[in-house]
Amino acid sequence: MDLAFTKEEQAFREEVRQFFRDNVPPDTRRKMVEGRHLSKDEMVTWWRILNKKGWGVSHWPKQYGGTGWTSVQHYIFNEELQSYPAPQPLAFGVSMVGPVIYTFGNEEQKKKYLPRIANVDDWWCQGFSEPGSGSDLASLKTKAERRGDKWIINGQKTWTTLAQHADMIFCLCRTDNNAKKQMGISFIVFSMKSKGVTVRPIQTIDGGHEVNEVFFDDVEVPIENLIGEENKGWDYAKFLLGNERTGIARVGVSKERLRRIRDLAGKVESSGKPIIQDPAFREKLAACEIELKALELTQLRVVADEGKHGKGKPNPASSVLKIKGSEIQQTTTELLMEVIGPFAAPYDVHGDDGSNEAMDWTAQIAPSYFNNRKVSIYGGSNEIQRNIIAKAVLGL
Amino acid sequence: MDFDLNEEQRLLKESIDGLLTDSYDFEQRKKYMKEKGGWSKAVWLKLAEQGLLGLPFAEADGGFGGGGVETMIVMEALGKALVLEPYLATVVIGGGFLRHAGSDAQKAAHVPGIIDGSKTLAFAQLEKNSRYDLFDVSTTAKKKGDGWVIDGEKFVVLNGENADTLVVTARTKGERRDSSGIGVFLVPAGAKGVTKKSYPTQDGLHAADITFTGVEVGADAAIGNPDDSLALIERVVDEARVALCAEAVGLMDESLKTTVEYIKTRKQFGVAIGSFQSLQHRASDMFVAAEQARSMSMFATMANDFENAKERSNAIAAAKVQIGKSLKFVGQQAIQLHGGIGMTMEAKIGHYFKRLTMIENSFGDTDYHQRRVADAGGLV
């Protein structure tokens, strides 16, 4: 057992950090720190910088543009990226559909899609959840019927994150109504510009527009847009969801936020002195930092295990990451609310036009708190995670 | 970055797990409790035979030169089997003072007896009002000729009933809560002026309240600098905290395992109660708590070697907080999921709960350590 990173790993961390300092557009960083939404342009600009450096799809196999880093290097890269902070690569393309295509797709599909995913020439979105299919995803109803050399797609998806920016969607569609519900699903990709695709925004409680409803009305999709085998889509979906085991803890994100809390708590006054001097607040902050340290160590255990024994059999501790990671993220946004106290209330009517300097740092705190309630719901709600631990780890 | 055990450490784990599987099931433990002093001399000698009592001592002193990871392995195993024998008091704490600050003569006088199992030690530190502050010492050690005269009262001295030698903290200078002027003294348990009131503790161990009335010891009784040993005490107590974290992880593992087995077999409404989602989620939360505790136990074990004493203490305090929170949750829910049977002395789960509970209140509870971390400026 050894907690220390090697000299090479430390040098790698410094290299990554320096690259972010030199290359992340300052305004992008500021908006991330303040919890603001970024525009499509701001995100794509940064991702192309990353891709040019060769780090856009770092965990892909080398022949498709990956880096060949060790699992510890991936860990360091993600932690630095999250805690700088800078936007993480677009998960829907880079972590989700990309690996499905290079694992199950044919050569033509790999050639057609992978470089465009890496450079975000196409913005991808995920067509999984439906109004009646949340945690019970396999009950989905969106239908793809074969007609000649086309799929005809009808149905509705929901919670489709950033579909308003999307050029492409990967979609789970029912292709066999008679099979057991998991067996009749196919994984089909198509253009969001296709005739019959309608995107309707869903406004969330933070006032933001991240998610959408997407309707398909007789959408015609070329037959070759099926990935892998017909009716095997559920397997690919499981593969996709199981791919990202450690990033989900978002330790770097919480670290960055805790640093910000400490910084703000040294400035904001309560009872005539900085709130950081209030023992009750300080202990709450310490409690959160300790939980995060424990999570970081749990994540490192999983990373070290993957590095040594491969990704085959997941370390049981990996189930902890989503539950604890989301709880801690939520606690950090609660602490921020506590720091600003009554100034949580003003609504950011001016937007981010710089006209109201006093509100620059307070305006997004309440929305960010509201928005972060999602993290214990998405990606398999924390209750689903507990079901998974009970079944897969405890054998209940 | 590596969390795996090396080959030798794996063998160590196998050996102690094997020994305890053979000689320390719950029924055997009940018998050991009834032996004189409340633990088994025979088991203690078996631990000695396997070299476990000499594990952390330097090879030059007759030991095996084991480090923090080796102690973690042993403490986890002792926790898992709910072992009564005074490993913490004798090897970790008593031995810790000797390892860190004992003179050659002191080591020669005490270490061989620890290693061969013939002698045990106890740490007489807690006072009536000191609570968790290690610098809060009223017991005095006054110079007399070359030696010292010790006066004062110490409480809840684990293994105090049986120990051959007491390791006593006493003030040589200054006021009650001064951080300087504290010494550490080796006192024979049978010395004139030592009186003991012995009793079993809530978790089945044995302790004593010990009064020192004009107890005379020689100049060679002081370990380290008799006027300035707080840093030494903090060092050794930090190691005791790390050991307790590991013991708690072993206790939590076994508590969770026992509880999951129970809810898989206990039937109500015609089905195993473990098929109910509310119970499954509770068990999952116990697993999460135990894993977070394991991570911090490993962190504390590695932090023990940090060169910077402040960083070391802060990390170990943080670990004790996580362990305290986890053990309370795992312990309480283990009883809850067992239902009525969990409330009985007959079932083993309650005994795990009691030991876990006592660990929280040993060498600083959750609030105490959380405050330390907060006052130190946090942990990010």
E strand or H helix at B41? helix B41-49
Which residue do the tokens 């899609």 mark?
Answer: A113
Please state the domain count of chain B: 3
pLDDT one-digit tens code per residue, B275-288: 999 999 999 999 99
E strand or H helix at A333? helix A318-340
- The pLDDT score that the predictor gives to residue A6 is 92
CATH code at B41?
Answer: 1.10.540.10
Reduce the DSSP state of residue A84 to 3 states and report it. coil
Identify all chain B residues contacting A295, using CB atoms and an 8 Å cutoff. Answer: 292, 295
Beta bridge partners of A188: A171, A226
Tell me which of B198, B227, B256 is where a domain ends: B227
Tell me which of B97, B119, B141 is where a domain ends: B119
B150 in any annotated domain: yes
Q: B142 and B40, same structural domain?
A: no
Q: B207 and B250, same structural domain?
A: no
Sign for the CA dihedral angle at A255, A126, A243, A384 comes to positive
- The pLDDT score that the predictor gives to residue A208 is 87
Average pLDDT, chain B: 97
Reduce the DSSP state of residue B167 to 3 states and report it. strand
Percentages (nearest 5) of helix, strand, coil residues in chain B:
55, 15, 30
Q: How many helices (H) and strands (E) does chain A have?
A: 13, 10
Smallest CA–CA distance, residue B327 to chain A, in Å, is 14
Are A324 and B285 a contacting pair, CB within 8 Å?
A: no
E strands along A30-164, which residues? 124-127, 143-147, 150-157
pTM of the model: 0.94
Q: How far is it, in rounded angstroms, from Cα A71 to Cα A278?
A: 40
Across the interface, whether the CB atoms of B263 and A389 are under 8 A apart is answered no
Q: B137 and B43, same structural domain?
A: no
**Nearest residue, CB atoms, B283 vs list A316, A323, A396:** A396
More confidently predicted of A245 and B56: B56
Smallest CA–CA distance, residue A231 to chain B, in Å, is 31
Q: Where are the domains of chain A?
A: 7-89, 124-232, 245-393
Beta carbons within 10 angstroms of residue A188's beta carbon: 24
Which residue do the tokens 């995060």 mark?
Answer: A292
Q: B203 and B136, same structural domain?
A: yes
Contacts of A211 (CB under 8 A, 6+ apart): A158, A159, A160, A161, A162, A163, A201, A202, A204
Cβ–Cβ contact A11 with B under 8 A = no
Q: How far is it, in rounded angstroms, from Cα B99 to Cα B92?
A: 10
Tell me which of B227, B247, B263 is where a domain ends: B227
pLDDT one-digit tens code per residue, B63-114: 999 999 999 999 999 999 999 999 999 999 999 999 999 999 999 999 999 9
Q: B370 and B277, same structural domain?
A: yes
Q: B290 and B237, same structural domain?
A: yes
Are B373 and A258 a contacting pair, CB within 8 Å?
A: no
User: For chain A, which ranges sit under pLDDT 50?
Assistant: none
Q: B153 and B169, same structural domain?
A: yes
B206 in any annotated domain: yes
Could you tell me how far CA A115 lies from the centroid of its own chain?
Answer: 21
Across the interface, whether the CB atoms of A1 and B3 are under 8 A apart is answered yes
Which residue do the tokens 């959160």 mark?
Answer: A288
Measured between alpha carbons, how far apart are the two ends of chain A, in Å?
32
pLDDT one-digit tens code per residue, B138-178: 999 999 999 999 999 999 999 999 999 999 999 999 999 99
Across the interface, whether the CB atoms of B292 and A262 are under 8 A apart is answered no
Across the interface, whether the CB atoms of B378 and A1 are under 8 A apart is answered no
Q: Under CATH, what is the fold of the domain A245-393?
A: Butyryl-CoA Dehydrogenase, subunit A; domain 3 (1.20.140)
Q: How far is it, in rounded angstroms, from Cα A171 to Cα A187?
A: 6
Q: B43 and B87, same structural domain?
A: yes
CATH code at B238?
Answer: 1.20.140.10
- The pLDDT score that the predictor gives to residue A353 is 54
Q: How far is it, in rounded angstroms, from Cα A31 to Cα A35?
A: 6
* Phi, psi for residue A251 in degrees, rounded to 5: -60, -40
Q: How far is it, in rounded angstroms, from Cα B212 to Cα B195?
A: 7
| ipTM metric | 0.95
Q: How far is it, in rounded angstroms, from Cα A239 to Cα A235?
A: 6
Which structure tokens are listed for B14?
Answer: 């196998």
Contacts of B315 (CB under 8 A, 6+ apart): B299, B300, B303, B306, B379
pLDDT one-digit tens code per residue, B280-323: 999 999 999 999 999 999 999 999 988 899 999 999 999 999 99
B2 in any annotated domain: no
Beta bridge partners of A2: B2
B1 in any annotated domain: no
Strand A168-174 relative to strand A124-127, pairing: parallel
Smallest CA–CA distance, residue A325 to chain B, in Å, is 11
Q: Under CATH, what is the fold of the domain A124-232?
A: Butyryl-CoA Dehydrogenase, subunit A; domain 2 (2.40.110)
Q: B365 and B329, same structural domain?
A: yes
Across the interface, whether the CB atoms of A295 and B292 are under 8 A apart is answered yes
Which structure tokens are listed for B105?
Answer: 């003569």
Positions of A marked catalytic: 244
Closest C-alpha to B238, from B181, B180, B294, B318: B318
Cβ–Cβ contact A262 with B under 8 A = yes
pLDDT one-digit tens code per residue, B224-254: 999 999 999 999 999 999 999 999 999 999 9
Q: Which residues of A136-155 are buried (b: 16+ CB within 10 A; e: fewer)?
A: ebbebebebeeeeeebbbbb
Strand A197-202 relative to strand A211-222, pairing: antiparallel
Beta carbons within 10 angstroms of residue B367's beta carbon: 12
Size of interface A-B (CB pairs under 8 A): 143
Mean pLDDT to the nearest integer, B18-23: 96
CATH code at B192?
Answer: 2.40.110.10
Q: B127 and B248, same structural domain?
A: no
Q: B238 and B170, same structural domain?
A: no
Give the range of the structural domain holding residue B166, as residue numbers without chain letter: 122-227
Q: B44 and B72, same structural domain?
A: yes
**Nearest residue, CB atoms, B298 vs list A289, A297, A323:** A297
